Amino acid sequence: MAVRAVRGAVQLDEDDAAHMGERVGALLTAVLERNGLSAEDLISIWFTATPDLRSDFPAAAARHLGIVDVPLICAQELDIAGAMPRVVRLLAHVETGLAKPDIQHVYLGATAALRKDIAQ
């Protein structure tokens, strides 16, 4: 097994805790499913949120999915003029047999425009 990093992002329609939980949960589920991973394969996850999201911690969505023994951290994205609003990003460190080129990075909805080079 190798340690790999998986990227992902999702845009929220509004700054609402329930909506954040739903969207971040969908993102995390897609990252796991598309890479054939389970919660046991997770080493850690780093979440960031744009400064306009203040209703909840993105990591709370992972806890609601039952990911309770994985280190999680949340941080704020840089406040850059013209950046896409209401975006949660994640960087997950995982144990997997996948080679680097086979990792499926997940950018849901409009966030696919953020990383056209790696979005699946």
Annotated binding-site positions: 7, 89, 107
Burial label for 76, CB within 10 Å (0-12, 13-18, 19+), is exposed
Phi, psi of 109 (to 5 degrees): 55, -135
Asked if 60 and 23 touch (Cβ cutoff 8 Å), the reply is no
Can you say which residues are annotated as belonging to the binding site for prephenate?
Answer: 7, 89, 107
Compute φ and ψ for 74, nearest 5 degrees.
-120, 145
